[in-house]
Amino acid sequence: MPRIKAAVCTAFGEPLTIEELELRAPGAGEIEVTLDAVAICHSDIHYAEGAWGGDLPAVYGHEAAGRVTALGPGVTGLLDGQRVVVTLIRACGQCPNCASGKPTICETPRSAESPLSRADGTSVVQAMNCGAFAEKVVVDQSQVVPLPDTMPPEAVALLACGVITGVGAIVNAGRLRAGEDVVVIGAGGVGLNAIQGARIAGARRVVAVDVTEEKLETAKAFGATDGVLATQDAPWKEAMRILGRGADVVAITVGAIPAYNDAPRYLGWGGRMVMVGMPHSGAMAEYEPVVQAYMAQGMIGSKMGDVVIRRDIPWLADLYDQGRLKLDELVSGRWSLDQINEAIADTNSGDAKRNVIVF
């Protein structure tokens, strides 16, 4: 088995450690991908902090780009040396959810066996079906999409999660129609892509809500027409003043309970609230359900933007090629694998859009 360098979480809330691990060969329906880049998502950080539990030791990372370097038995439609984006969306294609076009909530359990182990045989969890804070991964063929060699690997990596989650929350889950109004709460990596999705889908106005003026200015560069400081009294009143009414779609892209408590206040008649950001397990929000019932408002969770990766990722890659989707501008910094803890600290500072580990 090849030996690879990986950043391993051995204790929640502690720095990751760089170790040499063994990576088994791809089995039936699997491929090996040698990585060029992996972005750091806040979900990776929250998992490493223990926000949602899980077993250790584990390798996180799930926004990756690389080239196919080995094919397991039965793999079709992929070629050795092909550039691919690696996602966490592992879909069987056969269960009721997959068959109805919802592969992000595939019902088929995955094997508990991880392709990663230490030299002494200790299994290392391949977190989120990827384990991409590593030089190579072995993943199911359903998790990847081929993309052009002309795309920079950092741009390819961003299409694995943050971009599809944000754009898809508006286009797929929110079902935005041209001319409708959108409020996006949180102007981080996912929020900026929700803003881009609203712009691409033809929103009349896109109001970004965040806690700093700097982030609101960044949001305008990605397509927000207006910005509202979340720290002011009753920020939803300012949003309604701007829009002239309540919003048709409100997307919460941060996992903060105060944001979830306030989100329904931005909605207009018949509005849809799309829940994207993930609070820690056990955190509770409060609503006044009579308002939603009387105003015919909807609330929906959106996992990974409700995407179908073989449909949506090529579409987004084409928009990038046309200059209509910003990807390069999302990259705040490039780091080596050995610098991953510094990159995580920089991400936690709140200023970074997306930090990327490059190999």
List pLDDT tens digits, range 83-112: 999 999 999 999 999 999 999 999 998 777
pLDDT band at 281 (very low <50, low <70, confident <90, very high): confident
311 assigned to some structural domain: no
Whether residue 248 is predicted with pLDDT greater than 80 in this model: the reply is: yes
With contact defined as beta carbons under 8 Å apart, do 295 and 320 qualify?
no
pLDDT band at 12 (very low <50, low <70, confident <90, very high): very high
Pairwise CA distance, residues 166 & 222, whole Å: 12
Q: Are residues 151 and 171 in the same domain?
A: no
pLDDT band at 2 (very low <50, low <70, confident <90, very high): confident
Range of the domain at 76: 3-159+327-358
Q: Are residues 41 and 172 in the same domain?
A: no
Q: Are residues 16 and 153 in the same domain?
A: yes
309 assigned to some structural domain: no
Q: Are residues 204 and 257 in the same domain?
A: yes
Q: Are residues 199 and 288 in the same domain?
A: yes
319 assigned to some structural domain: no
Question: CB under 8 Å to 56, separation ≥6 — which residues?
Answer: 9, 10, 11, 12, 125
Q: Are residues 183 and 254 in the same domain?
A: yes
316 assigned to some structural domain: no
pLDDT digits (tens, 9 = 90+) for 303-346: 999 999 999 999 999 999 999 999 999 998 999 999 999 999 99
Q: Number of folded domains in the chain? A: 2
pLDDT for res 32: 98
318 assigned to some structural domain: no
* CATH (domain of 339): 3.90.180.10
Q: Are residues 240 and 128 in the same domain?
A: no
Give the whole-number percent of the chain exceeding pLDDT 70.
100
312 assigned to some structural domain: no
Q: Are residues 198 and 143 in the same domain?
A: no
Count Cβ atoms below 10 Å from residue 338 Cβ, excluding itself. 11
Q: Are residues 142 and 249 in the same domain?
A: no
Q: Are residues 40 and 63 in the same domain?
A: yes
DSSP string across 96-142:
HHHHTT-GGG--SPPPS--SEE-TTS-EEEEGGGT--SBSEEEEEGG
pLDDT for res 349: 81
pLDDT digits (tens, 9 = 90+) for 172-227: 999 999 999 999 999 999 999 999 999 999 999 999 999 999 999 999 999 999 99
Whether residue 243 is predicted with pLDDT greater than 80 in this model: the reply is: yes
State if pTM tops 0.85.
yes
